[in-house]
Chains A and B, each alone.
Chain A
Amino acid sequence: MTQYILRRIGYMILTLFIIATVTFFLMKLMPGSPLKAEDKLTEEQKQIVLESYGLNDPVPVQYVRFLGNLVQGDLGISYNFDNTPVTEILVERLGPSMQLGLYAVLIGTFFGIILGLIAAIFHNGFWDYTSTIIAVLGTSIPSFVFAGLLQYIFAVELGWLPVALWGEPKHMVLPIIALAIGPMATAARFVRTEMIEVKGSNYIITAKAKGLSKSERVWKHGLRNALIPLVTVMGPMIISLMTGSMVIEKIFAIPGIGEQFVTSVMVNDYPTIMGTTLIYAFGFIVILLIIDLLYGLIDPRIRVTGGSK
């Protein structure tokens, strides 16, 4: 097991290196420069600035320098915020993003599972159709539409919650709901389909023949088997959540990584773009690893060698 995790960490480092390389060159292909037109600098001043950032060096030289710094954990200085190290910006902004993402995933999957189970238990009944409609709406409408709607209804019209900003718990409600609807819908759809299939499976009939009641059959035998495929879709689900969070953070003016990422791309703040990308990639890879380990925990058939007690 330890060996397996170590090997996975090795692959993680390799993946991060590839992502860093690709992003670096893509970024260099982007039009424009960190210097804004409104800065009103003379050509000479511009050259001095570019020189001081090392941007006049050939791209391969810049790349090697970037990698060298990266290995030492130095992501450079932001071009946009005066002399602030990128690491500092990221550390500051990681908190809100992680809070938002974590709550959205947990709340989304939790309610998704409940919704899916209700649909499966009352298969072809009123609750099934209701939850299917919710699920279809949730998967097909992007989170920023919900964000706007929620802001309009609960903040502007009813005035119950703040429109935007971050800090107090009341600020978190709307963005978390907006972000959680997607994962909720996905989870509901998967749990419903799986649970309906599991309900008709032979081992559930065996359980019934043992004299177990309906709720014992659903909870003790059905649920675990129905959740296995959900774990598989958790990966893609979290990716869409991460990308969704960029827009949501922007809409709700949440000082998170996603908001920073969008802003940095707009102003060609190269070191910050690299930093945020790497943080995203890192988070993503770690989540995939966790999901793989979780998979083995739920399904004994694919437990990694040596994993059984």
Chain B
Amino acid sequence: MSKLLEVKDLRISFNTYGGEVQAVRGVSFDLNKGETLAIVGESGSGKSVSTSAVMGLLPKSNTVVKSGEILYKGKDILKLSEKEMEKIRGKEISMVFQDPMSSLNPTMKVGNQIAEGLIKHQGLNKAQAKEKAIELLAKVGIPNPELRVNQYPHQFSGGMRQRVVIAIALACNPEIIIADEPTTALDVTIQAQILELMKEMQKETGSSIIFITHDLGVVANVADRVAVMYAGKIVEVGTVDDIFYNPKHPYTWGLLGSMPTLDDDESEELYTIPGTPPDLTNPPKGDAFAPRNKYALEIDTLYEPPMFKVSDTHYAATWLLHENAPKIEVPEAIKKRIESFAAKQGGNE
């Protein structure tokens, strides 16, 4: 598989009144053609910041890219000028945003909002672009596209608006679609529809997708590979099977354990990860997760763990994988979880 996007040791800070916030602290990942990579993590873990950097959408006034490269088709897009980035945004890499209620211009017809990118990147004239916009609306499952194309966002429901946002992202057949929590603001039933739509569209266009979410249920549904982020770093990365059936990082265990499932025993309290994420203006020495990790070793407070290789596809940054570390079994509760995933997976097929 060819690498479409390679992010190497990306470090991004924000200058705030409270000091420098190290939002992304050395993130590396890559994206292959046609695959879906899910980036999972809690709020503030740096997942949106890393991907906004790929799009060049971070506010210039207070963002500092400390180091790193973002190679798109072998070219470092961090070095491109604003004019050159405009040619990549929307055309090569596009984005689906979290909140469909506010991400469309309220005073512009949806058709024109879809057509804009087409006119800009593909040189279509207005009539052609409108034709294409109608096509796209039909494609993302909006009934009566000929009528809808002339309507304004307030005439659409939330789910329908998100379909429009997806149509905008798809308009120029981009190589990569970054979906930043595209279902978080939607009703659960609509969430499933939107995920289904994105999967379908990917099958049709062969685009790669970076799917940002904090919902592991969504991950299992859409992703090929998963990167788990914590405190501005990727702590574990692997295929969906690696992460769900053979998780190695205690943080991943915590995430899997705190995921509610339908067959949970109601008398049992849902597991939560104790504590709060660290303050990134002053990130801790050693492993940032150590204070919340009951399996933490002494070395965790001193040195940051490197990425240990579990298999060719699976890496995790925890000292527990070091050959000298005590052997710690996956906790019982998480084991049960994994078994139930496996059972469900079997049932689905």
Contact = CB atoms under 8 A, between A and B. Distances in A.
Given A211-B89, A300-B154, A205 B97 contact: yes
Given A203-B103, A300-B154, A209 B86 contact: no
B107 A211 contact: no
A205 B105 contact: no
A203 B98 CA distance: 11
Interface centre among A201, A203, A211 (most CB of B within 10 A): A211
A301 B103 CA distance: 16
Nearest to B150: A309
Contacts, number: 79
A201 B57 contact: no
Interface in A37-95: none
A209 B120 contact: no
Contacts of A305: none
A309 B89 CA distance: 33
B207 to A, nearest CB: 15
A211 B120 contact: yes
A203 B104 contact: yes
A211 B87 contact: yes
A117 B103 CA distance: 22
Given A211-B89, A211-B121, A206 B97 contact: yes
B106 A206 contact: no
A119 to B, nearest CB: 16
Interface residues of B, number: 32
B70 interface: no
Nearest to A209: B95
A23 interface: no
Interface string B66-110: 000000000000000011001111110011010100111111100
Contacts of B102: 201-203
B108 to A, nearest CB: 7
Contact of B168 (A206, A214, A300, A309): A206
A301 B104 contact: no
A212 B86 contact: yes
A108 to B, nearest CB: 24
B152 A300 contact: yes
Interface in B126-156: 150, 152, 154
Interface string A242-279: 00000000000000000000000000000000000000
A205 B89 CA distance: 11
A213 interface: yes
Contacts of A300: 106-107, 152, 154
A210 B91 CA distance: 7
29 contacts: A202-B103, A203-B103, A203-B106, A205-B97, A206-B95, A206-B103, A206-B105, A208-B57, A208-B89, A209-B90, A209-B94, A209-B95, A209-B169, A210-B116, A210-B117, A210-B168, A211-B89, A211-B121, A212-B86, A214-B82, A220-B108, A220-B116, A221-B105, A224-B107, A225-B105, A225-B106, A300-B107, A301-B106, A309-B150
> Which 10 residue pairs of A and B lie closest in terms of their CB atoms, listed nearest first?
A211-B90, A211-B89, A210-B90, A202-B102, A202-B103, A203-B105, A209-B95, A210-B117, A300-B152, A206-B103
